[in-house]
């Protein structure tokens, strides 16, 4: 299914849909602030399945994925517009009330205001398009392009959980509570991602991160995005990658959708990153060294294999 | 099919999706400017049919409908984000190249910059979601709520053409040239609406319009929106409504999608509106007088019956 990913990348490149090449577009707002703009499209049976989640969790996730983009650049989310294409079967149910309840609950947590949107009927699939506007002090947005050889690489939390959750859902497991048992936690990582807005904001305020990205495509792909934008290479310690309980190493590397942040900092500021609870997983090197995974057997090329969640559903 | 319209209005009201109640949300940008935000969702076989249009015209219309919202508030469009959900059948064709060509051609005309977007595959229908950000001098946006009894009511151009075009398409007529014969002109009014950005901007700069809206739902409905927001009534002269050649009166009143502007001005400034080429169609009255259509037989209640294009496809 690689062709789908290639196709979308071709279209994005061909038509400059990511002109800035970061999680959000950045534009000057006034003399003190820049604005961040991001949009995320979720389509039924591509990005979610109604029988795998609840309306409230879907509302949560629709906003969370966009807040994660704002978080990756160190911004503060401010406004949202929400577009819905609704198949007829959902009209006379409580679906939308519950969906908005989940959406608004997360919006309230981060003080995001819904300022508009559009609604249409949809002949087949439920369509959700989430547009979020954020702010960041002028020229302080954390870009993907600032990583330098010698910088340390951190992630904000455990990885692989979202891919584990996806596998569990495919195997018929369902979320029955939001408790701590490993299966339910895996499902929650897939169905209710937590956007790392606060830590992103702290990284920006402290001027700590030289580069950042949110882990939406997967560690291998998202690290490659930083390396490409920064013109650097990277070495990741296999044993250092924090795994969600039950997740495989493959899920952590290539699963995607964990929505933790991946960021780089100058080595001398290691203690500040550790104080934030972030986990050190490796180091930035020169581009000529490539992107390597180090385990007990030696060094291996770490090829970007993320975004498989796209094909998996 | 009225229930669909009711359903969507219920959802919009219930969840405050149009908090400002205008064509765009208005938010302060800096001390001199406000920002306008608008989003329009187009779904295949609901809002368009691929066998009725061309990819380039669809790209044009996707942007035009959002520019029309900016125009209605007197703003200048600045940035756009474009989201596409693409069914597999369109991947390996020239569809997207032609779609973007049409989109960019209109964007260039109004100096709109594409700053981002999202792309996903779609299992069934082509999905297009268009976000546009505009600007207007601080507190100068033309709202729906400023019309006063005694004001005159104008439209910027002929009405009914889009509904005529829709009927022609349903009857198997197709666009073969962009010429002046009546059938082709009707098709063009449906397939290639021209957003009235320049006249909207002029109305704002001159402080001429007390209220404005774009004619997307239809004259009867959009006039009702202004009357409701302004707390006024209106009288429209049946013989004054400019009809696209071949269009019926019903099409002009209720057809929608003409994307001309409907606006109100103080009576003493009539000559300025006429100089812009706008057409006077009636007068604002007190709310207690209701919304009336005047023809040779007398006065009739003008009930909002627009948005039928929604049900018609």
Q: For each successive 10 residues of chain A (313 residues), what is the average pLDDT?
A: 53 52 87 95 96 97 98 97 94 90 97 91 96 96 96 97 96 86 90 97 98 96 95 97 95 95 98 98 97 94 68 35
Between chains, do B30 and A30 touch, taking CB under 8 Å as contact? Answer: yes
Whose tokens are 């534009």? That residue is A27
For domain A2-137, say whether CATH 3.40.1110.10 is its number. no
Whose tokens are 């023809």? That residue is B295
pLDDT for B32: 94
pLDDT for B19: 43
Q: Which helix (H) or strand (E) holds A144?
A: none
* Cα(B257)–Cα(B280) distance, integer angstroms: 20
Strands annotated E in B123-204: 127-137, 152-155
- The answer on pLDDT for B311 being more than 50 is no
Q: Which of A16, A123, A127 sits opposite B45 (nearest CB)?
A: A123
Stretch 47-76 of chain A: residues touching chain B, C-beta under 8 Å: 47
* Cα(B76)–Cα(A150) distance, integer angstroms: 46
Stretch 12-41 of chain A: residues touching chain B, C-beta under 8 Å: 12, 14-20, 24-25, 27, 29-31, 37-41
- Cβ-Cβ contacts under 8 Å for B9 (sequence gap 6 or more): none
Beta bridge partners of A122: A87
Between B135 and A308, the higher pLDDT residue: B135
Question: For residue A63, which residues of chain B lie inside 8 Å, CB to CB?
Answer: none
Interface test with A, best of B89, B118, B127, B308 (most A CBs within 10 A): B118
pLDDT for A44: 97
**Segment B167-203, tens digit of pLDDT:** 999 999 999 887 778 888 889 999 999 999 999 999 9
pLDDT for A203: 98
Q: Which helix (H) or strand (E) holds B253?
A: helix B249-254
Range from A297-311, B197-211, B232-246 carrying the lowest mean pLDDT: A297-311
Residue range B39-64: mean pLDDT, rounded: 96
Q: Which of A47, A114, A129 sits opposite B83 (nearest CB)?
A: A129
- Is ipTM beyond 0.95? no
Nearest to A28 by CA among B29, B81, B39: B29
Cα angle A268, A271, A276 (rounded to 5 degrees) comes to 130
pLDDT for A313: 32
Question: Which CATH number is associated with domain B152-312?
Answer: 3.90.650.10
DSSP code at position A147: -
Ordered by start, the domain boundaries in chain B are 2-137, 152-312
At A173, is the secondary structure helix, strand, or coil?
coil
pLDDT for A2: 41
pLDDT for A6: 60
DSSP code at position B239: G
Q: Do the beta carbons of residue A209 and residue A140 sit within 8 Å?
A: no
């Amino acid at each position: 299914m690689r062709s789908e990913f290639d196709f979308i990348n071709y279209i994005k490149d061909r038509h400059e849909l990511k002109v800035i090449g970061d999680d959000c577009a950045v534009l000057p707002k006034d003399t003190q602030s820049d604005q961040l703009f991001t949009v995320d499209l979720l389509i039924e049976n591509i990005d979610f399945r109604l029988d795998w989640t609840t309306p409230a969790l879907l509302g949560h996730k629709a906003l969370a994925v966009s807040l994660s983009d704002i978080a990756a650049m160190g911004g503060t989310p401010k406004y949202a517009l929400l577009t819905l294409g609704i198949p007829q079967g959902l009209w006379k149910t409580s679906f939308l009330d519950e969906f908005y309840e989940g959406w608004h609950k997360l919006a309230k947590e981060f003080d995001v205001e819904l300022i508009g949107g559009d609604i249409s009927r949809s002949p087949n699939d439920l369509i959700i398009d989430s547009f979020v506007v954020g702010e960041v002090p002028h020229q302080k947005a954390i870009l993907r392009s600032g990583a330098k050889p010698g910088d340390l690489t951190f992630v904000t939390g455990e990885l692989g959980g979202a891919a584990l959750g996806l596998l569990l859902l495919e195997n018929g497991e369902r979320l029955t509570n939001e408790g701590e048992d490993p299966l339910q936690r895996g499902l929650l990582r897939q169905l209710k991602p937590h956007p790392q807005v606060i830590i992103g904001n702290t990284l920006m305020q402290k001027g700590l991160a030289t580069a950042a990205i949110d882990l939406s495509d997967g560690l291998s792909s998202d690290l490659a995005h930083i390396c490409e934008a920064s013109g650097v290479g990277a070495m990741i310690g296999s044993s250092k990658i924090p795994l969600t309980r039950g997740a495989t190493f493959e899920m952590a590397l290539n699963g995607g959708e964990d929505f933790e942040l991946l960021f780089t900092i100058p080595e001398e500021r290691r203690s500040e990153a550790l104080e934030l609870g972030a986990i050190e997983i490796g180091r930035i090197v020169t581009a000529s060294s490539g992107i390597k995974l180090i385990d007990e057997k030696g060094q291996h090329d770490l090829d970007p294999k993320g975004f498989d969640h796209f094909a998996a559903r």
